Amino acid sequence: MDAVTVGIVGCGTISAAYLRAALDFPEYRIVACADLDLARAQARAAKFDLRALSVEALLDDPSIEVVLNLTIPAAHAEIGLRAVEAGKHVYSEKPLGLAVPEARQLVERALERGMRVGSAPDTFLGGAHQTVRAALDADQFGRIVSGTACMMNHGHEHWHQDPGFYYQPGGGPLFDMGPYYLTALIDLLGPVASVCALTDRSAAERVVGSGPKAGTPIDIGTETHIAGLLRFATGAAISLITSFDVWAHRHSPIELYGTKGSVLVPDPNRFDGQPMMAIARAPWVDLPVTHGFAEADHRGVGLADMARAIRSQRAHRANGEMALHVVDIMQGLIEAGATGRTVDIATRCERPSPLPRRREIGLLD
C-alpha cells in the first residue's frame, strides 16, 4: 500500500515518541508539523526532516490525509473538528474530548463528512493484551464476573516541565490515565452500562518539580482520586481506582475474575508485559504471549491500523466510537462522585476486532 500522509498538530513532549515510532510503520509517513508555538514545530521539523507549518497551513495542505492531533486535551476536539472540516481524517491523543458533547460532535461530524476519527490509546493492540483477549474469547476463564483496575501514583509534576493541564478538567488521573484502563477493559469485556464513584482531591498543594517553571504552584481544578465501580453490559462489575494522591501501592494493573478462573492483565499503558492466570484452585502460571507484538513502545500502531484501514476500506480498531464511550464513562464517574448517584452510560461501542495471531509489524489486517 502507498503510505498515508500525516501532519502533526502539537509538537510537545509526546510528539518525539510518535516521530521515532513512525519510522517502524510503513503504513504512514509524517511529512509536516505545526504548533501554536512555531519555534517548537521548527525544532521538530529540523530534527525529523519535516516541513514546519502554521496550524492553518497544515490544515489547508491538500497533500496531508490525516492530522495526528498531539495537542493538550483542551484543544483535542477543536483541532479534530477543524481537521474534519478541512476534509482530513484525524487521529487524536487521549482523551478524545473534555466532555461528551464535544467528543460526540467530532465523531458525528466526521461520519457526515466521510472522515475517520481514531484515538489513542492503542496499547490494547500490544501482544500481552491481545493474548488475554484471545484467551477470554476462547472461554478459558469462563464468564467474567468481577475484577479490579488500579492506576495510582502521585502525579506528573516531578518530571513534566509544564504539568498544569494534568490538574485541569480533561486531566486528573481519570482523564489522563483512565483511557488506557478503560480501553483495555472495553476491548476485553465490551461496553459499560452504568457507573458509580467516590471522588476526592487530597493533596493540599502541588508545585512544578522540573524545568523552567520549577517551584511554580499548580492550580488543582479537577478530582485527583476517583474510586469507581463499572457495571459492564455483560454484567461484570469492575472496580476502577485512578489516583494522583497515592505514593505507593502493590495492586496489579488489572485483575479479572471469571467463573472458571482469574487472569492478571499487564499494564495497559504498555504494549508488553506478562499476563498470568490461575484456573480454579491451581497456582498462578504465566499465560504464554502468543498474539500481536510485544515490543516496549509502539505508540502509533493504532494510527498504522487506521492508515491501513483507510486504504483497504475496513473498520479501524482504535476508533472514535470507542474513544467517545471512554469519555462518556469518565464523565459519568465524575458525575457519580459529585452526586452520589449511579449514572447510566448512554453511548455504546463494539469491541474492536482482535489482531490475528502473528507478530510482524505491517501485518495488521
Ligand X SMILES: NC(=O)c1ccc[n+]([C@@H]2O[C@H](COP(=O)([O-])OP(=O)(O)OC[C@H]3O[C@@H](n4cnc5c(N)ncnc54)[C@H](O)[C@@H]3O)[C@@H](O)[C@H]2O)c1
Identify residues 143-162 at the interface with ligand X (CB under 6 A).
162
Q: 12 or 142: whose CB is closer to ligand X?
A: 12
Q: Let me know if 280 is exposed, middle or buried by CB neighbors in 10 A (0-12, 13-18, 19+).
A: exposed
Is there binding between residue 70 and ligand X (CB under 6 A)?
Answer: yes
| Helix (H), strand (E) at residue 52 | strand 51-53
Place of cell 507484538: 293
Please state, in angstroms and rounded to a whole number, the distance separating the CA atoms of residues 310 and 323.
18
> Which of positions 28-47 make contact with ligand X (CB under 6 A)?
35-37, 40
Select the span of 6-14, 131-139, 181-189, 351-359 touching ligand X (CB under 6 A).
6-14
For residues 163-192, which are near ligand X according to CB under 6 A?
A: 176
Choice from 27, 65, 93, 122 touching ligand X (CB under 6 A)? 93
Contact indicator for 197, 229 with CB cutoff of 8 Å: yes
Asked if 223 touches ligand X (CB under 6 A), the answer is no
Give the binding range for ligand X (CB under 6 A) out of 8-16, 273-281, 284-292, 327-335.
Answer: 8-16
Applying CB under 6 A, among 4, 31, 33, 73 the residue interacting with ligand X is 73
Residues 346, 331 contacting (CB under 8 angstroms): no
| Among 10-18, 111-119, 203-211, 332-340, the segment contacting ligand X (CB under 6 A) | 10-18
Q: Which is nearer to ligand X, 176 or 321 (CB)?
A: 176
Asked whether the CA dihedral 106, 107, 108, 114 is positive or negative, the reply is positive
Count of residues that interact with ligand X, criterion CB under 6 A:
21
Site for ligand X contains 9 (CB under 6 A): yes
Residue nearest to ligand X (CB): 12
- Residue 103's CB is within 10 A of a number of other CB atoms, namely 28
In the complex, the residues that contact ligand X under the rule CB under 6 A are: 9-14, 35-37, 40, 55, 70-73, 75, 79, 93-94, 162, 176
